[in-house]
Structure 1
Amino acid sequence: MAEVVLFHHAQGLTPGVVAFAEELRRAGHTVHTPDLFDGRTFGSIEEGMAYATGIGFPGEVLRRGAEAVAALPAGLVYAGFSLGVLPAQLLAQTRPGARGAVLCYSCVPVTEFGPAWPADVPAQVHGMDADPFFVGEGDIDAARDLVAQAKDAELFLYPGDQHYFADSSLPSFDPEATALLIQRVLGLLARV
C-alpha cells in the first residue's frame, strides 16, 4: 500500500478534499492531508487566493508544504488539487525517494523546480478539457510537456468546464468524473 500526501486547493481543506482522501484510505492507503491554511476555508477560489497571496503565495505555500512532510518518510506519493499542486509537484521533483505524483486541475512547467522530471517518478495529471483555469491559463501545456518528457506519466482530460470537479462539498463537483479520477489514482497507487 502507498503512503500519500494530499495538498488541498485554494478554498482550503474542505470536507470534499477530506472525502477524497477517505476514498484512498478505504482502498488501504495511508493518506496525510496537511492544512496549509491553518484551519481556514473559503467560499470561493478568489477568496482563497487572496488569503494565499496574503500569507505569501507561492513561497509560503511551498514552504508550508515542505514543512508538512519533513517528519514523514521519503517514499511518498505527492498529490495536490490546484494550488496544492505546487507543493506536490515541488516535492515529487526534488524530495529524494518520491514514489509518484498526482496533479489535479493544475500543472506548472517542470523547469520551475528542476531541469527535468525525475525518471523514476510516475505521474498523473488530471483536468477538465474546458476548465478556464487548467486550459485557459496554460496548465494543460505544462502537463503535456511533463508527460512528453517523463518516462511514466499520463494526462487525463475529462469532459467539462469545472475546476474543482472532485470536491464533493462544492457546486463544481462532478460525480462521474470523480469516480473515474479515483479509479485512475488507485491504479497508480497499486503499482508504485
Structure 2
Amino acid sequence: MNIMLFHSVYGLRPAVHAAAERLRAAGHQVRVPDLFEGQTVESVEEGRELKDKIGQEELLRRAILAAAPHSDEGLVYAGFSLGGSIAQNLALGDEKARGLLLMHGTSDIADGASVDELPVQLHVADPDPFEPHDWLSAWYLQMQRAGADVEIYRYPGAGHLYTDPDLPDYDEESAERTWRIALGFLETLQRDQ
C-alpha cells in the first residue's frame, strides 16, 4: 500500500521514522511529510504552541501539498495524534483514498462528509485525555453516517502516545498489539485492492 504517515504534535521525530520503517519492512511504500518544517518539541504544551503558531489551515495546506502528487495512486492516510486528525481530514476529502489508520487521534467531521465504505481503524488509549469516551462515541456514529467502515481498538491503562518509545506514555505491550492489528488491517487492504 502507499501510505502517507503524519507525525504528532511533537514533530517529525525518530519514532515516526521508526514507524515508517516498520511499515516499509511489511512491504508498504511510506511517505512521512514534515509539517513542522524541521521543528520538533519536547512536550505537548510546546507542540500546541507550535501548532497554533503555524495554524491549522497552514498545516492542512502543507499536508495536502505533500499528498496531492500521490493521491491518484490511492493512498492510505495514517497519523499519530495531531497527524491522525490531519490524516482523517485528507482521507475524507480524497475520493481515491484506500484507507485511514489513526493512532491516538481523530478530528471533527465536516457536515455532509461522505465516503464509500472507507476502511478506518482507530487505536486509542483507554481512557485518553484527548479522546474522551463521549467524543469517541459521537465520532464513531458520525463516521458511520459518513459511510466509513470503522473499527476502534482501545488500550486500557496506556498513555496517549503509547506507541512512541521515546515518550513517558510508551507501553510496549499495547504498542506491539497496535502494530500487529494495524499491519493486519493494511494487509487486508492490500489483498482487497
Fold-level match, TM-score > 0.5?
A: yes
Q: Distance in 2 between matches of 1:41 and 1:170?
A: 13
Taking CA–CA contacts closer than 8 Å with sequence separation of 6 or more, which of the two structures ends up with the larger relative contact order? 1
Output aligned runs, 1:1-192, within 5 Å: 2-56=1-55, 58-74=56-72, 75-110=74-109, 112=110, 114-135=111-132, 139-146=135-142, 148-149=144-145, 150-192=147-189
Structure 2, unpaired ranges of 5+: none
Moved over 3 A (4+): 146-151
Q: Which has the higher helix share?
A: 2
| C-alpha distance in structure 2 between counterparts of 1:73 and 1:107, whole Å | 21
What secondary structure sits across from 1:155 in the alignment?
A: strand
Q: Alignment identity in percent?
A: 40
Which AA in structure 1 matches 2:175? T
Q: Secondary structure at the match of 2:64?
A: helix
Secondary structure of 1:71's aligned partner: helix
How far residue 146 of structure 1 moved from its aligned partner, in angstroms, is 4.3
TM-score (norm 2): 0.89
In the aligned structure 2, how far is the partner of 1:85 from the partner of 1:105? 7
Sort the Cα spacing of 1:169 and 1:158 in 2 relative to 1 into closer, same or farther, 3 A: same
Query: How far apart, CA to CA, are the structure 2 residues paired with 1:178 and 1:161?
Result: 9
Quick check: 1:147–1:154 contact (8 Å CA) kept in 2?
no
The verdict on how the C-alpha distance between 1:139 and 1:168 changes in structure 2, with shifts beyond 3 A counting, is farther
Gaps of 5+ in 1: none
Cα deviation, residue 73, structure 1: 3.8
| 1:45-64 deviation per Cα after TM superposition (whole angstroms, max 9, x unaligned) | 110110110111x1111111
Q: For 1:86 and 1:33, how far apart are their aligned partners in 2?
A: 15
- Cα distance, 1:161 vs. partner? 4.4
Whichever residue aligns with residue 50 of structure 2, its letter is: Y
Shift of 1:35: 0.5
Question: Residue 36 of structure 1 contacts residue 64 of structure 1 at CA under 8 Å; is this kept in 2?
Answer: yes
- Taking structure 1 as the reference length, what is the TM-score of the superposition? 0.90
1:184 to partner: Cα distance: 1.3
User: 1:67-101, CA deviations, whole angstroms, 9 ceiling, x for partnerless residues?
Assistant: 11121142000001111122211111111210000
In structure 2, the CA distance between the partners of 1:172 and 1:123, relative to structure 1 (3 Å rule), is same
Secondary structure of the equivalent of 2:24? helix
